[in-house]
Amino acid sequence: MPKTRAQKSAEIADLAAAMKTAKAAAFADYQGMSVQNITTLRKKMHAEGVDYIVAKKTLMAIAAKEAGFDVDFKSMPGMLSVALAKQDEMAPAKLIGDAGKDQPIKLVGGIFEGKVVDQAYIVQLSKLPSKSQLLTQLLYVFNGPVGAFARLLNAYREQKEAGAPPAPAPAPVAEAPKAEESAPAAEPAPTPEAPAADAPAQAETPAAS
């Protein structure tokens, strides 16, 4: 059943609003995909914070113009859909690029960093890691030494629980021998006292005659 003018106007308004607020957009030719495969792809995109919308080229062109983008949809082949990123600007191109490996869907253009980009540009974006993948790799680099230490502690705990003897403790470092205590100093010999001077002889008192 053909859509009414009111329905088309509402569809254009919703699509234009989504394009204005999206961090990036990827346009794709989905011709040949089954309804079931499109539904599966839409659910996968929704889980990644991406809206997937199927619309006619004429409606998509009007919506893009209202959103401030001059996109040449006439040059894009096939039946068009657009994936709009709410979070990760790399996700739309990445998800469609991955789906195109085993489904008849291909990237034909897009909007990235506020600019309209061609097919070659959006295809190159689809081959780069997503933001979540980059963050995972970065965390792995940061947590590498910590993870190795945690695995070592876990292995030690498992050995103890299994009754295995724990690793021997490192031998204590031998202390340097202490210097021998010096013998106590000999007490100084007493200084001999100087002989006392003889008292002067008293003069004899002459006897009385």
- Answer whether residue 2 is part of any domain: no
User: Domain span at residue 133?
Assistant: 129-161
Tell me the pLDDT of the chain averaged across its residues. Answer: 79
Q: Are residues 93 and 137 in the same domain?
A: no
Place of tokens 């470092």: 173
The two tokens of residue 91 are 């996700």
- Answer whether residue 134 is part of any domain: yes
pLDDT tens digits, residue range 159-190? 666 665 555 545 555 555 554 444 445 555 55
Q: Are residues 51 and 144 in the same domain?
A: no
pLDDT for position 146: 58
Q: Are residues 106 and 23 in the same domain?
A: yes
- Answer whether residue 119 is part of any domain: yes
- Whichever domain contains 108, its CATH number is 3.30.70.1730
pLDDT for position 40: 95
Q: Are residues 122 and 48 in the same domain?
A: yes
- Other C-beta atoms closer than 10 Å to the C-beta of 159 total 13
pTM: 0.63
- pLDDT for 27 beyond 80: yes
Q: Please state, in angstroms and as integers, the Cα–Cα distance from residue 20 to each residue in 26, 47, 111, 154, following that order.
A: 14, 21, 11, 51
Domain count, the chain: 2
Mean pLDDT of 117-137: 80
